Amino acid sequence: MSEPEPKWTVAVPAVSARDVSVRRGEIQALRHVSFEVPPGRLTGLLGPSGSGKSTLIRAIAGVQAAVEGRLTVLGFEPGRAGLRRWLGYMAQSSSVYEDLTVLENLRYFAEIRGAQLGGLLERVGLREQTHQLVRRLSGGQRARVSLAIALLGSPRLLLLDEPTVGLDPLLRRELWRLFGELAGEGATLLISSHVMEEARHCEDLLLLRDGRLLAQLTPDELVAQTSTTDMDEAFVRLIERA
Ligand SMILES: Nc1ncnc2c1ncn2[C@@H]1O[C@H](COP(=O)(O)OP(=O)(O)O)[C@@H](O)[C@H]1O
Ligand SMILES: [Mg+2]
């Protein structure tokens, strides 16, 4: 079977979901979700804890079992081997090696992906921690090691599951700036967060609640439709209206 060559035109969505549902044990984690993620943009996947964000990202990354409905990634079935090099996935739980230094972790994953390190550590603000053991890092620094690993090989589609959770406000702002830069360079980003305020940094929003897609819209449209600039309040008003 030949390697998939993704179609990078504006006409082909980076992700397309039609009536996607996922059951996890007794829980219906996603319920008939349909949307398209436009290429080359920064899309925020926002919703409270338990709303299905991680399940959806896992489904797109091709690691979630029992996905029903029709889901395509760059025009292909999720999880297809050749798709991997186009994807960068940062899971919510850290998958870095505690007993290796930052650089050793990066080199290890770079070898697996056949990628160059380039200036990645600088880019995520970890240059000073290059030779530190991961187990001695703060939570925020660890998250940035995972992020650097997701960025290896300059993937065209980045799936980042709560990459800014627990970080200090300054660092959060820097990371959102980096995400904006990456989108500016042509990457497609799908970034989840349970912090509604982060909606401001996104170009498009997917709002989830109880496994259902509440709305897909831009931050400006959200403000216009709910008559408030308070993002938590905007979310509440959308729910009340729905
Ligand atoms: N491994 C699992 N087994 C069973 N249910 C799960 C599992 N992981 C998550 N869930 C449930 O699926 C729903 C969606 O979870 P999740 O996708 O992790 O939401 P979020 O990322 O928005 O917090 C929640 O009700 C959660 O409790
Ligand atoms: Mg989650």
Token code pair at residue 159? 């799936």
Q: What is the pTM of this model?
A: 0.95
Domains in the chain, number: 1
Q: Average pLDDT in the 43-49 region?
A: 98
2 pLDDT higher than 70:
no
174 pLDDT higher than 70:
yes
The CA 51 to ligand 1 mean position distance, Å, reads: 8
CA dihedral sign of residues 111, 144, 80, 42: negative
pLDDT tens profile 110-123: 999 999 999 999 99
Token code pair at residue 218? 């831009």
Q: Is residue 136 part of a domain?
A: yes
Residue percentage of the chain with pLDDT more than 70: 95
Q: Average pLDDT in the 183-193 region?
A: 96
H helices of 47-138, where?
53-61, 102-113, 120-123
Residue nearest to atom 8 of ligand 1 (CA): 24
86 pLDDT higher than 70:
yes
Report the pLDDT value the prediction gives residue 85, as an integer from 0 to 100. Answer: 87
10 pLDDT higher than 60:
no
Helix (H) or strand (E) holding 161: strand 157-161
What is the rounded distance in angstroms from the CA atom of residue 140 to the CA atom of residue 70? 35
Q: Is residue 3 part of a domain?
A: no
Report the pLDDT value the prediction gives residue 29, as an integer from 0 to 100. Answer: 98
Q: Is residue 10 part of a domain?
A: no
Residues lining ligand 1, judged by CB closer than 6 Å? 24-25, 27, 29, 47, 49-55
8 pLDDT higher than 60:
no
Q: Is residue 41 part of a domain?
A: yes
Q: Average pLDDT in the 147-176 region?
A: 93
The ligand 1 atom at the shortest distance from the C-alpha of residue 49 is 23
Report the pLDDT value the prediction gives residue 9, as an integer from 0 to 100. Answer: 58
Q: Residue written as tokens 């989840």? A: 192
Q: Is the Cβ–Cβ distance between 69 and 20 less than 8 Å? A: yes
Q: Is the Cβ–Cβ distance between 61 and 218 less than 8 Å? A: no
Q: Is residue 226 part of a domain?
A: yes
Ligand closest in space to the Cα of 46: 1
What is the rounded distance in angstroms from the CA atom of residue 136 to the CA atom of residue 101? 9
The CA 185 to ligand 2 mean position distance, Å, reads: 27
Q: Is the Cβ–Cβ distance between 144 and 124 less than 8 Å? A: yes
Q: Is residue 2 part of a domain?
A: no
The CA 50 to ligand 1 mean position distance, Å, reads: 5
Q: In terms of pLDDT, which residue wins out, 170 or 10? A: 170
4 pLDDT higher than 80:
no
Q: Is the Cβ–Cβ distance between 172 and 166 less than 8 Å? A: no
Q: Is residue 6 part of a domain?
A: no
Residue nearest to atom 13 of ligand 1 (CA): 29
Mean pLDDT for all residues in the chain:
94
The CA 143 to ligand 1 mean position distance, Å, reads: 20
- The domain in which residue 205 lies consists of 15-241
Q: Is residue 201 part of a domain?
A: yes
What is the rounded distance in angstroms from the CA atom of residue 21 to the CA atom of residue 2? 29
What is the rounded distance in angstroms from the CA atom of residue 110 to the CA atom of residue 156? 16
Check which CATH number belongs to the domain holding 183 and give it: 3.40.50.300
Q: Average pLDDT in the 5-29 region?
A: 86
- CA angle centred on 148, ends 13 and 85, rounded to 5°: 45
193 pLDDT higher than 90:
yes
Q: In terms of pLDDT, which residue wins out, 167 or 58? A: 58
202 pLDDT higher than 60:
yes
214 pLDDT higher than 90:
yes
